[in-house]
Structure 1
Amino acid sequence: MFGLIITLVCSTLVSARFINDSCQININYKHGDFGAPQPLILTRNNFSMFLYPQHMDRLNVFTMQKIILSCPGKNNYLKGIDNDKTLNSMELICFRGNKFFYNSQEFILNLKNVSCNTFPKHVARRMPSKCYNNNTQIEIGFFITDENNNQEFIRTIDLCRNDTRHWTYYTHYKLISKIGNLQLGFPRPKQWSGADFYEHNIDNLYKISTQITTLEILLGSKKLVSKFVTINSTRFLSRGHMVAKSDFVYGNEQRSTFWYVNSAPQWQSFNGGNWNILESSIRKFAVKNRINLEVFTGIHGQMIISDENNNPVPVYLFGNETHRALEVPRFFWKIIYQPETKKGTAFVGLNDPYQPAITEDMFICKDLSERIKWINWNKKSLSKG
């Protein structure tokens, strides 16, 4: 018993000393150590990656561990280091406290003065390799340049897209067990990126007034439209994130989700209903079980509504008298997979809140939802998906 007490005391002293010798950084956006806009906070072993906080807003950079601060993008640079407006990335080595080594020299870094000139720029790039059914593979992320002018891409999301249909079959990203430490209150982009991936004015198509006009054309009736889309309500098609903003820890990662290719037309009552509950529950599941997950999200089928004569009408986000484009999917699906155990679960949500009753064709795979006890949703509510 005495030996056990000695062991515990020694362990505590070693841990305390280890923490005191580390470089501690508060990453809170509004009240943390960095200025705004915050740079990317990275580390590098064989390749660069995000360095995540161990607990809440607290990031401990271990003694002699590398940390990279980066501000990617044209005319972007690190402020608060010196007056060099060409410096958009720097590699530091932690000594202790707020002391770091830079270019083999020790110096004290006041992080309050450190920021980017503008928000770090994220990009979407088409890859030479193909994905499902010979379609286009796209990666979203950040190009960073090191002090030797070498360029590296840090991916946040990859996806598979049909460029002809403007249809993203699926997205993929890694959900980390530290997702509970995500930054809150980080500014969203003023507008979504990637409109040039589309042949139509995608920004305009998501306006409720445009949706009303489109449905009038599709249905051939103004009378029926108010059943589906109305102003100042949840009856409209939203930009449904496939990879959610809150699925990433850092605000700069969160901003990289605002690409149109990472979205599909999703009814708002579903978006803010069971789909939102599913996303939140998966994050809590990863935190509680301390596991990292590979997450795939996709869409399937096309929503059908009936006109005044009860004829089936496929729903599109764009429609005029001669042309239709951008199908509204009937289903959104999500797969979570743990590589270590090779176990996974698939979830399917109905993107059609106007169905009067549950029917067999709404189930595209065997329903095992009763076995999933960690999701508190109302799966029988058609309006919530």
Structure 2
Amino acid sequence: ACSISLHRDLTIMQPLLLKPGSREFIWPRLNSSTVQLDYGQPLELYCSHGFRKGSPGGNAKSAIVTCEGNDELGYAAESYNMSHFACQRPVYHVAERTGGHCYGGSSLIRIGFELEAPDRFVQLYEVCFDEAQLHSHYVKHSLSPHNGQHQRAVKRPSFLQGSFYADLKMSSLYSFTKQHATLERILGTRARADALLDSKRGLFLSRGHLAAKSDFIFGSHQRASFWLMNVAPQWQRFNAFNWQRIETAVKEYVAANDLWLTVYTGTYGVLELLDGNGDSQQIFLDYDPARDPPGRIPVPKLFYKVLIDEQAQAGIALVGVNNPHATPEEITEQYVVCKDVSGAIDWIRWKRHSIADGYSYACDVNEFNDVTGHLALAQPIGRLLL
């Protein structure tokens, strides 16, 4: 047989590993960080810019190799090991509108790899994106037991905005200085912005991934999670504490229970904070009082992960409050939007009642979706995924 190690054999210049001629990736074995090929099994290696100079793949973008045993791969009547097949550049991923629509007439955008052959697109995830408000309702992707192992220490690339944010320079909108100025403009006083933002205490808005970087197994796939449609403004303290606890626990739960899940990670509502007069104002990252409507890129009130096991017709909605400044009364009255069933969940190590860490709870999927209306589910989810 032939083994390809995620940690030893695949660098940042790794090719995609595909079933030849298909739209399917080859995954590592379960509970393992190695891809195992049987003797004689073919594997397609794909580089969007061709293989690097001196590689057996030459200028070609695709090479089909065959396992010859002892970790040797046969190509063009010679034997090589995996490290010979490095790409010229990191594999290029794309985000494109599918022409389809989702909640509220929003655009469906697919993110993945456009391969040479016509109509050969290998999808990683799909985004429901509101082109007017410039924000994502949800991202849809899959998690399987393979996700228990993912490539570690993959360097974070810069975020990409593509053609999806008109004339906005998104990197500057997320800067602390710009956030402070925007909050001051919306809330009317500098004192309010000073009271709400504190970089040392994680009280600022960061780019909160929807589908997490580590929800993808290969480095080339992880890099494709850095599209700005796959993030939303999230208080850093929440991002680093309860939200991360949820992300980690979900992957562990999936691996431990051998689950194959469809995951919708989304945002709901617009955060409201009090202005200098004590009135509630909706918060946006991009705000121009002279424009109609003045706000774009809303700061979400809630983040959620809806997990669905389609085979078992089971699901759960995990919900986190994106407001470290909320009072306990506000949490109960404004932020808990469905019956909390989190008492039945024993597999998340969260401090779910901590407002600073991001108050969190769980609900029946149908009940939560009745509130948001985001997901077009083929049929009601029959039972709770616990």
TM-score range, shorter chain: 0.7 to 0.9
Task: Pick one of 60, 64, 68 that aligns with 1:95.
Answer: 68
TM-score by length of 1: 0.87
Amino acid at match of 1:27: L
- Tell whether 2:274 aligns with 1:299: no
Question: Which residue does 1:234 correspond to in 2?
Answer: 202
1:78–1:89 Cα contact (<8 Å) kept? no
Cα offset for 1:64? 2.3
Task: Pick one of 177, 196, 201 that aligns with 2:163.
Answer: 196
1:195–1:201 Cα contact (<8 Å) kept? no
Task: Pick one of 178, 183, 186 that aligns with 1:215.
Answer: 183
Cα separation, partners in 2 of 1:83 and 1:258, compared to 1, 3 Å: closer
Cα offset for 1:79? 4.7
- Gaps (5+ residues) in structure 2? 359-386
- Tell whether 2:313 aligns with 1:334: no
Q: Which has the larger radius of gyration?
A: 1
Provide the C-alpha distance between the structure 2 equivalents of 1:246 and 1:304, rounded to a whole number of angstroms: 31
1:241–1:263 Cα contact (<8 Å) kept? yes
Question: Which residue does 2:378 correspond to in 1?
Answer: none
What are the Cα deviations for residues 240-292 of structure 1, in whole angstroms up to 9, with x where unaligned? 11100010111111111100111111111111111110110000001111111
1:100-119 to structure 2, matched below 5 A, reads: 100-102=73-75, 105=77, 107-119=78-90
1:80–1:114 Cα contact (<8 Å) kept? no
Amino acid at match of 2:160: S
Task: Describe the SS at the equivalent of 1:160.
Answer: strand
More moved, 75-84 vs 35-44: 75-84
Cα offset for 1:76? 4.1
- Tell whether 2:108 aligns with 1:137: yes
Task: Describe the SS at the equivalent of 1:382.
Answer: coil
Cα separation, partners in 2 of 1:342 and 1:374, compared to 1, 3 Å: same
- Tell whether 2:26 aligns with 1:47: no
Question: Which residue does 1:23 correspond to in 2?
Answer: 2
Q: How many residues align?
A: 351
Provide the C-alpha distance between the structure 1 equivalents of 2:129 and 2:41, rounded to a whole number of angstroms: 39
1:79–1:114 Cα contact (<8 Å) kept? no
Amino acid at match of 2:127: L
Provide the C-alpha distance between the structure 2 equivalents of 1:297 and 1:236, rounded to a whole number of angstroms: 21
Cα offset for 1:36? 4.5
Question: Which residue does 2:346 correspond to in 1?
Answer: 373
Question: Which residue does 1:346 correspond to in 2?
Answer: 317
RMSD: 1.8
Task: Pick one of 27, 32, 41 that aligns with 1:56.
Answer: 32
1:195–1:202 Cα contact (<8 Å) kept? no
Task: Describe the SS at the equivalent of 1:115.
Answer: coil
1:261-272 to structure 2, matched below 5 A, reads: 261-272=229-240
Identity %: 30
Question: Which residue does 2:91 correspond to in 1?
Answer: 120
Cα offset for 1:88? 1.3
- Gaps (5+ residues) in structure 1? 1-21
1:265-280 to structure 2, matched below 5 A, reads: 265-280=233-248
Question: Which residue does 2:377 correspond to in 1?
Answer: none
1:23–1:60 Cα contact (<8 Å) kept? yes
2:12–2:154 Cα contact (<8 Å) kept? no
Question: Which residue does 1:82 correspond to in 2?
Answer: 56
What are the Cα deviations for residues 215-260 of structure 1, in whole angstroms up to 9, with x where unaligned? 1111111111122223344111011111000101111111111001
Cα offset for 1:65? 1.8
Task: Describe the SS at the equivalent of 1:49.
Answer: coil
Amino acid at match of 1:369: S
Question: Which residue does 1:184 correspond to in 2?
Answer: 152
Provide the C-alpha distance between the structure 1 equivalents of 2:149 and 2:37, rounded to a whole number of angstroms: 16
2:260–2:309 Cα contact (<8 Å) kept? yes
Amino acid at match of 1:136: S
- Tell whether 2:285 aligns with 1:317: yes
Cα offset for 1:384? 1.1
Provide the C-alpha distance between the structure 1 equivalents of 2:23 and 2:57, rounded to a whole number of angstroms: 25
Provide the C-alpha distance between the structure 2 equivalents of 1:316 and 1:325, rounded to a whole number of angstroms: 6
